């Protein structure tokens, strides 16, 4: 008796070949589906990472721009404030200098006038005739 060889234990012949082909096709389809799922997951992860990176970069740029604008505004306000105070101080100083000069000038004139009146009253006295433009000390 001759023994028949069974290939793969599928009953031999064409049925064994069809079984093997079905198994191979199922394995290939499963591998393709798994690879596609892995590719889709990787693409989704990459897209999410790219979106997060873009959002973070945009937020950092916006914060940087806001900080720069705030710093520029503060510097401009401080400089304008200092310039206006400096101009105001210069105006006040010059006004005080003019007032002091006028006061000093007025004091000198008052002192001179008082001295002249005193001299006139001492030299002429109360009983003497004085010119009409001379003022006696008693007229104060």
pLDDT, position 120: 54
pLDDT, position 43: 96
Give pLDDT tens digits for 11-59.
Answer: 555 666 777 888 999 999 999 999 999 999 999 999 999 999 999 999 9
Give pLDDT tens digits for 62-114.
Answer: 999 999 999 999 999 988 888 777 777 777 777 776 666 666 655 666 666 66
Is 125 in a helix, a strand, or coil?
Answer: coil
77 vs 35: CA distance, rounded Å: 62
Q: Give the CA angle between residues 58, 60, 64 to the nearest 5°.
A: 115
Please provide residue 126's backbone torsions phi and psi, each rounded to the nearest 5 degrees. -80, -30
pTM for the complete prediction? 0.42
pLDDT, position 138: 56
Is 124 in a helix, a strand, or coil?
Answer: helix
Is 65 in a helix, a strand, or coil?
Answer: helix
Q: Who wins on pLDDT, 111 or 7?
A: 111
Are the CB atoms for 120 and 130 separated by under 8 Å?
yes
């Amino acid at each position: 008796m001759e023994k028949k060889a069974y290939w793969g234990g599928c009953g031999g012949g064409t049925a064994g070949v069809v079984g093997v082909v079905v198994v191979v096709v199922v394995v290939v389809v499963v591998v393709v589906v798994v690879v596609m799922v892995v590719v889709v997951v990787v693409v989704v992860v990459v897209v999410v990472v790219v979106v997060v990176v873009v959002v973070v970069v945009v937020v950092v740029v916006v914060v940087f721009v806001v900080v720069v604008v705030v710093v520029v505004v503060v510097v401009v306000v401080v400089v304008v404030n200092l310039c206006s105070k400096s101009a105001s101080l210069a105006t006040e100083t010059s006004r005080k200098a003019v007032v002091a000069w006028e006061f000093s000038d007025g004091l000198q004139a008052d002192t001179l006038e008082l001295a002249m009146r005193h001299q006139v009253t001492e030299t002429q006295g109360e009983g003497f005739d004085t010119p009409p433009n001379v003022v006696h000390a008693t007229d104060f």
